Structure 1
Amino acid sequence: MLTIGVLGLQGAVREHIQSIEACGAEGKIIKRAEELVSVDGLIIPGGESTTMRRLMDTYQFIEPIKAFAAKGKPIFGTCAGLIMLAKHIEDRDNAHLGLLNVSVARNSFGRQVDSFEADLEVKGLDAPFTGVFIRAPHIISADESVEVMAEYDGRIVMAKENNILGCSFHPELTDDHRLTQLFVEMVKTYKTKLAV
């Protein structure tokens, strides 16, 4: 069985675990860097990116997550998780993990009170997906190596590059598990390649 970790520092961790399990994989909360070896893929949930970075530094996650990605293991960042993955962050000198060749802007859609839901056309899905946007970032620009997976109002809100997937919204806050399933399929593909 596939085991997918959810970084347990902040965010809707339980909801991600439930979505993973709804897709037939095992979900595991990751609270220590050494636990990364026990999972095949990793979800970095939403939260507040500055706080998340501080916690990642405190618990020494930055380099282990980079090493995890370098092995080809898939990572999915949602909302603040996307910010953590981005190579460039508007109005910030340094990236956090720098694993996804995109530039992001934080809080692009307004404050918490401006939260909203929107139906999105997502590549690979046959029907719209309802994205829950809460103080969401958006992707300002993406390298040509990055596949744009979804846009909203002319802004990129989901992208994939090799084993890295990121979105501006919170797929775990809906009962629609298709985006988690898409990530599970990425993890399956990774595991299949290992077995060959």
Structure 2
Amino acid sequence: MIKIGVLALQGAVREHVHALEASDVQVIVVKKVEQLEALDGLVFPGGESTTMRRLINLYGFYEPLKDFAKRGKPVFGTCAGAILMAKELVGQAEPHIAVMDMKVERNAFGRQRESFEALLKVKGIGDDVHGVFIRAPIIKEVGEGVEVIAEFNGEIVAAKQGPLLACSYHPELTDDHRMHQYFVEMVRNCVVHT
């Protein structure tokens, strides 16, 4: 059975576990670096990116997470998870894990009170995907090998680069598990071809 981990340092871990379990995969709550070795894919949940980075450093996850993505293992980042994945951040000199060729702006949709929900057209999934935006980032630019799979009001809110998937919103906070199913299929395809 395919094993997908959810990085459990901070953020909406339980909700991602629930969404992934709907796709009949084994889900591992990742709290130790050693757990990465057994995984076929990994989710970086939403939360607070600066806090997550501090905890990543504190628990020795920085290089192992970079290595996980470099080995071509699928990674899915939502909201703060997308910020962790970006190679460039607006107004910040240093990126975090920096595995995906995109430039991201934190809190670009505004503060907590500006949070909103919207139906999104997501390539390969559907034109009625429920997105929850909470202090959400915007993907400002993407590199050559990155496919934009969703936009909202002309801004990029989801993108894919090989086995890497990132979105600005929180699919785990809805009953619509298609985004997670899409990621599970990416993981299955990687497992079949390795």
If the TM-score is normalised by the length of the shorter chain, which range does it land in? over 0.9
CA contact (8 A) 2:70 2:99 kept: no
Identify the residue that residue 93 of structure 2 maps to in structure 1.
Answer: 93
Cα deviation for residue 126 of structure 1 reads 3.0
CA distance in 2, matches of 1:114, 1:16: 23
Instruction: Give the TM-score normalised by structure 2.
Output: 0.98
SS in 2 for 1:6: strand
Q: Write out per-residue CA displacement over residues 82-126 of structure 1, whole angstroms, 9 at most, x where no aligned residue.
A: 000000000000111111100000001111111100010000013
Identify the residue that residue 83 of structure 2 maps to in structure 1.
Answer: 83
Cα deviation for residue 62 of structure 1 reads 1.1
CA distance in 2, matches of 1:139, 1:15: 23
CA distance in 2, matches of 1:130, 1:70: 30
Cα deviation for residue 38 of structure 1 reads 1.5
SS in 2 for 1:36: helix
CA distance in 2, matches of 1:132, 1:26: 25
CA distance in 1, matches of 2:8, 2:50: 15
Cα deviation for residue 127 of structure 1 reads 3.5
Matched residue count? 194
> Equivalences for 1:38-49 in 2 at 5 Å?
38-49=38-49
SS in 2 for 1:51: helix
Cα deviation for residue 39 of structure 1 reads 1.1
Amino acid paired to 1:4: I
Cα deviation for residue 71 of structure 1 reads 1.4
CA distance in 2, matches of 1:175, 1:23: 13
Identify the residue that residue 17 of structure 1 maps to in structure 2.
Answer: 17
Identify the residue that residue 51 of structure 2 maps to in structure 1.
Answer: 51
CA contact (8 A) 2:49 2:83 kept: yes
What value does the CA root-mean-square deviation take over the aligned residues?
A: 0.7
- Percent of residue pairs bearing the same amino acid type: 54
Identify the residue that residue 132 of structure 2 maps to in structure 1.
Answer: 132
Q: Write out per-residue CA displacement over residues 48-95 of structure 1, whole angstroms, 9 at most, x where no aligned residue.
A: 111010000001111101111111110000000000000000000011
Identify the residue that residue 191 of structure 2 maps to in structure 1.
Answer: 191
Instruction: Give the TM-score normalised by structure 1.
Output: 0.97
Amino acid paired to 1:50: T
Amino acid paired to 1:147: E
CA distance in 2, matches of 1:59, 1:149: 33
Amino acid paired to 1:34: E
Q: Which sections of structure 2, spanning at least 5 residues, go unmatched?
A: none
Amino acid paired to 1:90: V
SS in 1 for 2:126: coil
> Equivalences for 1:1-196 in 2 at 5 Å?
1-194=1-194
SS in 2 for 1:108: coil
CA distance in 2, matches of 1:158, 1:172: 14
SS in 1 for 2:193: helix
SS in 1 for 2:73: coil
CA distance in 2, matches of 1:127, 1:158: 13
